[in-house]
Amino acid sequence: MNEPPATRLPAGLRLPFDPLLALAAVGLMAASLVTLNASTSTDVPGDPHYYVTRQCVFFVVGTLLAIVLSRIDYSRLRELKYGIYALMIGGLLLVAVFGGVTRGSRRAIQLPFFEVQASELGKVLLVVALAGFVVDRSRRLGERDTTARLVLLAMLPAIFVMTSDLGSGLVYIAILLAVLFVAGVSWRHFAGLLTLGAVSVTLVLVAAPALGVTVLEKYQVERLTSFLEPSAVAGDAGYQQNQSRIAIGSGQKTGRGDRATQSPLNFLPEDRTDFAFAVVGERWGFAGAGLVLSLYALLVWRGLRILTVAKNLYGALIAGGIVAMLLFQVFINVGMNVGIMPITGIPLPLLSYGGSSVLSTLLAIGLLQSIYAQGRSAAATKRRSLPF
Amino acid sequence: MMMEPSGERRPPITPQLALRVALFGGVALALFAIVFFRLWYLQVLSGDKYLAQASSNRVRELRIQAPRGKIVDRTGKVIVRNRQAVVVELDPAKLPDAEREAAAEWGKKAGERAARPKGKRGDPVPYPPIATKALATRYRRLGAVVGKSAKQIHREVVRSLVLVPYSAIRIKTDVRESVLAYISERPARFPGVKVEKTYLRAYPHDQLAAQIVGTVNEISPEQLKDPRYRGVKQGTVIGSDGLERTYDRYLRGVDGVQRVQVDAFGRPVPNRALKREEPIAGQRLRLSLDLALQATGQRAVANVGGGRPGAFVALDPRDGQVLGMGSYPSFDPAVLTKPFTQERYEQLLGNGGVGPLFNRAISGRYPTGSTFKAVTALAGLEKGLITPGAVISDEGCIQVGEIERCNAKKQRYGAVDLSRALQVSSDIYFYKLGMNAYYNNGDRGDVVIQRYARKLGFGKPTGIDLPGEDSGVVPDKKWREERNRAEVECRKRKKISQSVNVFAAGAAGCGIADGRDYNLGDTVNIAIGQGDLQATPLQLAVAYAAIQNKGRVVVPHLGLEIERANGELVQRIERDPARRIKIDEEDRQSVAEGLRRAAGEPGGTSTDVFAGWPHGELPVFGKTGTAQTPKGDQSWYVAYVPAPKRPIVVAVTVERGGFGAETAAPIACRMLADFYDVESAGCARGESATQ
């Protein structure tokens, strides 16, 4: 990988952030507003812009937070890792005790303006905390003990989240794996983890029901398996999957525009959150959906690029965790929209309506920008200190 | 991985990390590739399919019923028309599951009960209680509007759910318009209730031609599979009987379609781009029927017949146009357009299927009595067994084999030739002819009379454009052998001894035949229209038409033309051409002379009935018939009037009506008098003692 040209610019012209990453984020936010405008104009009687306005506010708040974060040296967060970890666990516990119930799962704390989904913000907090723990043991990374501790630290919130929201829990696991991977944990440990994972999945799906213990609710199993054959599942999950595929497929190459019917006539469920991508697919066709996907690809590419320019291991680990978090969510959500992944209720970062998801994604992008900026300035300092 | 040195705190990226980042990137690339490919597949390769699914998702097609065509008589008088009626229906999908389950349970029990033999079924299965309190309230509310109790509605719902689980449940047909408005304005008070306008058949002349016009109904699942109704959509009203059935494809019309865009909850959402297809009304069917003659015939059968079952047919002998056709008892077909009770239906069907719905004119098979003598005579003349002038001696009785047979009331007519024999209906003349025919054919035992009868159309359907025609019976040696075989089979099946007599076997469920061979008695019986010979009134009318028109055996038909609603001709109805048989003109005239004398000369069997008839202008050629049946004498009269411009042939029969001259002949006389506007004819009951 070569240096981006920006670094070759004179110091005065050097941007304090990665412009391509910013472009991807802004592009996705714009796409989100356009999509929401189309899909929610009749949802709230008398206020066609209700959701667009609120999403706009989330974006503005989130972007401001991201800018602040990008100007701070992320490395300082390492010292706060215990506090951050405690904040994450505390938030999850609060939700479990006081949270409201959304679609069968307890996920959010109701605040006056919006409801806080602790599991969304927890994703970013986990990345930051976990990366800190890894750096602490960076000299003993080959040891099994290190891997086991990290797994325990991440699995605790992951399993906790999974009890009410399977999909988000899986995101936690994806973050764990990515952080371990970037940290350089040995392949043997990964093999061991995979075996362990396979055994526990078998236990949950096969052994526990056979013993009469309910680990997964019936609707959760249905959701996870319906994508295999959507029309065969009469229930809600198969219906949603079918309607989403019909919406996307009917968009064809350039979309149906205002002649769209799946979303406006409510055949497409959850069209502002889980199935927002299907709205894009129906209205703007392959062109629109392809553009959105390309923006995500840009996001992921820049994330990986920032990983490599991080000034320290801590930055690289955070970048790796964030990229994994974004990539996993995009793939699962879009995959569910196009019918190749189970329905898990994972939002599409930035595109889906929802304050918690938007804020956590923008915080993650802010962190990436901070890593980028720190990496740049470290390199620049080095260069300046050298005699020509 | 080319990295610039990045300070003391950060060593250059290690090869191990570089590898892992590359792997990370590779996974990301693969995942994006999968999603892109899938998107391409869905949107570009299968887009058309999903677009079609999206549109079937949202577009609901509502049928707009097309009015069926009218049926009019030959002069354009309306026999069947439509009227708009309001029906109240319940949507089965809006009923609670508990009610549907209770109905299914009831249906199962009722089905089991019906499967048991009659008499051992026990008490009827009690209806389940109304499933929920809320439903009872709904039923009560609806019942108050349509004038039914909640219980009645509940029973109808249960029955309908069992019979046609997914069809709308018709609660009441033909309610007042005010009910339509009342219910439509309060959808919240009447959940699941649909009030719709529909067309019902209307019959301005009540019982007139009731058995002919037939009935209509919504197409059943079985009928949908019938090739006859190919292309007919579910919910369409089709003709299921009578002319409605025969000419269904003209009368039916094409239902229109109203396309409505709905959202996921089934609520309509306006969309101008959806086109409405207007219904195309059915075409008008013009019949050959003469409504005035029809009315006279039905009135006469009812009055003169004194309430006994009977039937009449009037044809134009030139081409078989049916001018009148009726069966008594009759009914008002309008009762079949609305839901009716099982008892009412059984009453219409009658015991053994011979109630008012039964069209005796084409489906009733009766022994013909002496009306058949004209056929016997023509057969004998053709074979040279008799000549017109040959005279025999009628002493009142004659020995046939071991049995002595006599004229009615042992009347002696002395010397009779053919026309005299027909005039007075001498049985002796025809017994002798029958014996002659039998002995001339040895123990082939049949042929002459039967073959001639078949040529004239007996023993098979005439081919009239109505369903349900009977073919009658022309018995011969082969027929008798078949019946005997069937009897043997039946007794074997039911384990009845082959040696018991026919009555005992009949009591035990067989008794089809008595096992004897065809013999002289059979031929002699046939010669006078008795024994096992059976024919429908229509068959006799066709046979007499052939005598009148010199050998054309016409195919009778009611349908004349298909027209537009305004009467403009669309097409004439094609029909099978008449079959020609050869009748020697001299033979024909001698038979005709006998028929003329029977109706118009002193001593003729029906002369007193036609007292005052202008025989000079409008000669009547008619033959009485009195067939002995176990129930009593079957009264017959068949006649034709060869008026050059408006010829007609009439066949009338009345069950247990006594001698032909007593009931059947006066009915025919009244019809002829009406048809030719003859006021001088008395058409009184005949005094004649002859058959």
Q: Which of A57-66, B487-496, B500-509 has the lowest mean pLDDT?
A: B500-509
Residue A388 has pLDDT above 50, yes or no: no
For residues B607-623, give the mean pLDDT: 91
Query: Does the distance separating the beta carbons of B261 and A261 come in below 8 Å?
Result: yes
| pLDDT for the residue B2 | 41
Work out the minimum CA distance from A57 to partner chain B, whole angstroms. Answer: 30
Is B225 contained in some domain?
no
- Residues B210 and B337 sit within 8 Å (Cβ to Cβ): no
> How far is Cα B453 from Cα B84, in angstroms, rounded to an integer?
49
Q: Which of A215-219, B452-456, B650-654 has the lowest mean pLDDT?
A: A215-219
Work out the minimum CA distance from B180 to partner chain A, whole angstroms. Answer: 30
Cα nearest neighbour of B269 on chain A: A265
Q: Does B393 contact chain A (CB < 8 Å)?
A: no
Q: How confident is the model at residue A114 (pLDDT cuts 50, 70, 90)?
A: low
| pLDDT for the residue A6 | 47
Q: Which amino acid would we find at residue A300?
A: V
Is B666 contained in some domain?
yes
What are the angstrom distances between the C-alpha of B587 and each of A119, A298, B206, B378, B418?
111, 109, 45, 7, 10
Is A190 contained in some domain?
no
Assess whether B297 and B437 both reside in one domain: yes
Is A79 contained in some domain?
yes
Work out the minimum CA distance from A218 to partner chain B, whole angstroms. Answer: 23
Q: Does B45 contact chain A (CB < 8 Å)?
A: no
Q: How confident is the model at residue A94 (pLDDT cuts 50, 70, 90)?
A: confident
Residue A275 has pLDDT above 80, yes or no: yes
Is A273 contained in some domain?
yes
Q: How confident is the model at residue B318 (pLDDT cuts 50, 70, 90)?
A: very high
Strand pairing class (B71-72; B284-287): parallel
| pLDDT for the residue A13 | 52
Q: Which phi and psi (to 5°) does residue A46 adopt? A: 85, -10
Q: Which of A19-23, A208-212, B29-33, B374-378 has the lowest mean pLDDT?
A: A208-212
Helices (H) and strands (E) in chain A, counts: 13, 3
- The separation between CA B164 and the C-alpha centre of its own chain, rounded to angstroms, equals 24
Query: Does the distance separating the beta carbons of A182 and B32 come in below 8 Å?
Result: no
Q: Does A195 contact chain B (CB < 8 Å)?
A: no
Assess whether B565 and B429 both reside in one domain: yes
Which domain covers residue A360, as residue numbers? 5-185+217-380
Residue B12 has pLDDT above 70, yes or no: no
For residues B554-559, give the mean pLDDT: 94
Which domain covers residue B143, as residue numbers? 65-70+81-205
Cα nearest neighbour of B267 on chain A: A265
Is A206 contained in some domain?
no
Task: Return the residue in B1, B20, B43 with the most chain A beta carbons within 10 A, the one to mutate for interface testing.
Answer: B43
Is B667 contained in some domain?
yes
- Residues B313 and B671 sit within 8 Å (Cβ to Cβ): no
Q: Which amino acid would we find at residue B304?
A: V
Is A201 contained in some domain?
no
- Domain boundary at B172, B205, B238, which? B205
Is B640 contained in some domain?
yes
- Residues A267 and B57 sit within 8 Å (Cβ to Cβ): yes
DSSP bridge partners of A102: A105
Is A14 contained in some domain?
yes
pLDDT digits (tens, 9 = 90+) for B72-104: 999 999 999 998 888 888 888 788 888 888 888
Tell me the residues of chain A between 228 and 267 that have a Cβ less than 8 Å away from chain B.
243, 245-253, 256, 261-262, 265-267
DSSP bridge partners of B392: B416
Is A265 contained in some domain?
yes
| pLDDT for the residue A368 | 96
Q: Which phi and psi (to 5°) does residue B533 adopt? A: -65, 130
Percent of chain B with pLDDT over 90: 38
Tell me the residues of chain A between 72 and 101 that have a Cβ less than 8 Å away from chain B.
none
Assess whether B201 and B296 both reside in one domain: no
pLDDT digits (tens, 9 = 90+) for B234-255: 778 888 888 999 999 899 988 8
Q: How many domains is chain B built from?
A: 2
Task: Return the residue in A75, A78, A185, A246 with the most chain B beta carbons within 10 A, the one to mutate for interface testing.
Answer: A246
pLDDT digits (tens, 9 = 90+) for A159-168: 888 877 788 8
Assess whether B314 and B170 both reside in one domain: no
Assess whether B546 and B403 both reside in one domain: yes
Q: Does A377 contact chain B (CB < 8 Å)?
A: no
DSSP per residue over B303-316, as a string? HHTTT--EEEEEE-
Tell me the residues of chain A between 163 and 182 that have a Cβ less than 8 Å away from chain B.
178, 181-182
What are the angstrom distances between the C-alpha of B631 and each of B47, B305, B506, B538, B691?
76, 15, 17, 22, 17
Assess whether B195 and B297 both reside in one domain: no
Q: What is the mean pLDDT of chain B?
A: 86
> How far is Cα A362 from Cα A365, in angstroms, rounded to an integer?
5
Q: How many domains is chain A built from?
A: 1
Query: Does the distance separating the beta carbons of B36 and A261 come in below 8 Å?
Result: no
> How far is Cα B650 from Cα B628, in angstroms, rounded to an integer?
21
Out of B31, B35, B48, closest to residue A338 by CB: B35
- Residues B284 and B247 sit within 8 Å (Cβ to Cβ): no
| pLDDT for the residue A266 | 82
Query: Does the distance separating the beta carbons of A249 and B51 come in below 8 Å?
Result: yes
Is B511 contained in some domain?
no
Assess whether B304 and B184 both reside in one domain: no
Q: What is the mean pLDDT of chain A?
A: 85
Which chain A residues touch B14 with a CB distance below 8 Å?
A: 184
Is B564 contained in some domain?
yes
For residues A263-289, give the mean pLDDT: 90
- Residues B399 and B375 sit within 8 Å (Cβ to Cβ): no
For residues B10-28, give the mean pLDDT: 84
Task: Convert B114-159 into a string of H (helix), E (strand) and C (coil).
Answer: HHCCCCCCCCCCCCCCCCCHHHHHHHHHHHHHHCCCHHHHHHHHHH
Is B4 contained in some domain?
no
pLDDT digits (tens, 9 = 90+) for B158-189: 888 887 666 678 888 888 888 888 888 888 88
Assess whether B189 and B336 both reside in one domain: no
Q: Does A299 contact chain B (CB < 8 Å)?
A: no
Is A204 contained in some domain?
no
Query: Of all helices (H) and strands (E), which one includes residue B416?
Result: strand B414-416
Assess whether B424 and B568 both reside in one domain: yes
Tell me the residues of chain B between 250 and 309 that have a Cβ less than 8 Å away from chain A.
261-265, 269
For residues B130-135, give the mean pLDDT: 87
pLDDT digits (tens, 9 = 90+) for A319-331: 999 999 999 999 9
Q: Does B399 contact chain A (CB < 8 Å)?
A: no
Q: How confident is the model at residue B642 (pLDDT cuts 50, 70, 90)?
A: very high
Assess whether B195 and B299 both reside in one domain: no
For residues A139-152, give the mean pLDDT: 86
Assess whether B413 and B541 both reside in one domain: yes
Owner of token pair 């014996």: B435
For residues B653-677, give the mean pLDDT: 92
Assess whether B466 and B615 both reside in one domain: yes
DSSP state of A339: T
Which chain A residues touch B26 with a CB distance below 8 Å?
A: none
Max distance between CA atoms of chain A, in angstroms, equals 74
Q: Does B37 contact chain A (CB < 8 Å)?
A: no
The tokens for A69 are 């974060």
> How far is Cα B526 from Cα A28, in angstroms, rounded to an integer?
100
